[in-house]
Amino acid sequence: MARIKNLQDPKYIINFVDICSKLDPSPTNKYVPYMLKLIEGYIADVRKDYEEQTLKDIKELIHDFHDLSERNQLENKDIYSYDSFESLEKAIKEGKSKVTESQIKKKETKLLFEDENYIVIRPLSFRSSRFYGATTKWCTASDRDEYAQYYTRYAGNGVLVYFINKKSDPKTDKYAKLAFHNETDFRDKHNITIWDPEDKQLTAGEAFGVIGKSVPFNVYEIIQNELYKGGKINIINV
């Protein structure tokens, strides 16, 4: 463990007395005290700027590293083995991704069905909605934080369910990911809407064609049951 007193190397210290001494034209450094008085406020501003702005990125990086290290979410917890800011930042991003994914699945998602081909979930947070709705154009799964209001509106005022085909790519298969929604009145079948990855609402004919072709009937029964009987949720704000 490093001791602070052993790190007091001149190359890490800005000594304003020495600097003013070099700038003082007198042979006795008689102007140094006055120069220091003039820049006293400046020194305080520089110190504050370094703490709050200049070193902000490093501060956040170290705090994140410490937090992830304490939770054993880093493959390599030896910070001195990272030879650059970028390499440390990359490791932290990977560690955060693991923590986030694990937390989302366990605490922020209602798992309705999953096998090797399909997964059906009900997102309980905007973060969960974005995670499972990734690569789609759903407003409820946008990367933009201001779109959280749309998730809250749809998930808070009805039932929002996502169907995901693990073996298909949403970019090429318009039924690889589907969002099902039912308004507050769960008894009215006409309130159910289905949206494809491009955020286009399926027509009645398209929706009927999807069932049995892209969404197995037994999986659709689970979705339908949640849409009608799932009830309201308490949205998790993270």
pLDDT digits (tens, 9 = 90+) for 163-174: 999 999 888 888
64 and 114 share one domain: no
Domain membership of residue 82 as a residue range = 4-103
Asked if 186 and 227 touch (Cβ cutoff 8 Å), the reply is: yes
23 and 117 share one domain: no
What whole-number distance in Å separates Cα of residue 78 and Cα of residue 74? 9
Inside any domain, residue 238 = no
User: pLDDT at position 109, please?
Assistant: 96
User: pLDDT at position 14, please?
Assistant: 83
User: pLDDT at position 154, please?
Assistant: 93
Asked if 93 and 204 touch (Cβ cutoff 8 Å), the reply is: no
112 and 29 share one domain: no
Inside any domain, residue 236 = no
Token code pair at residue 81:
């083995």
Inside any domain, residue 171 = yes
User: pLDDT at position 188, please?
Assistant: 53
120 class by beta-carbon count within 10 Å (0-12 exposed, 13-18 middle, 19+ buried): buried
Helix H or strand E segment including 20: helix 16-23
The verdict on pTM exceeding 0.75 is no
Q: How many CB atoms lie within 10 A of CB 24?
A: 16
User: pLDDT at position 57, please?
Assistant: 85
Inside any domain, residue 218 = yes
* Number of independent structural domains in the chain: 2
Inside any domain, residue 235 = no
219 and 120 share one domain: yes
**Angle subtended at Cα 42 by Cα 37 and Cα 43, rounded to the nearest 5 degrees:** 85
Residues of the chain with pLDDT under 50: 1
- Helix, strand, or coil (residue 133): coil
Instruction: Render the burial of 42-51: b for 16+ CB within 10 Å, e for the rest.
Output: eeeeeeeeee
131 and 222 share one domain: yes
User: pLDDT at position 7, please?
Assistant: 65
Last residue of a domain, one of 72, 103, 134: 103
Beta-strand ranges (E) seen in 142-206 are 158-165, 177-183, 193-195
Last residue of a domain, one of 79, 103, 127: 103
- Helix, strand, or coil (residue 122): strand
What whole-number distance in Å separates Cα of residue 71 and Cα of residue 85? 21
147 and 204 share one domain: yes
pLDDT digits (tens, 9 = 90+) for 78-116: 999 999 989 999 999 888 777 778 889 899 999 999 999
15 and 54 share one domain: yes
196 and 85 share one domain: no
Inside any domain, residue 149 = yes
User: pLDDT at position 183, please?
Assistant: 83
Inside any domain, residue 185 = yes
89 and 194 share one domain: no
User: pLDDT at position 140, please?
Assistant: 95
Distances (CA, A) of 71 to 7, 22, 63, 198: 28, 49, 13, 38
User: pLDDT at position 120, please?
Assistant: 97
Last residue of a domain, one of 103, 125, 141: 103
77 and 12 share one domain: yes
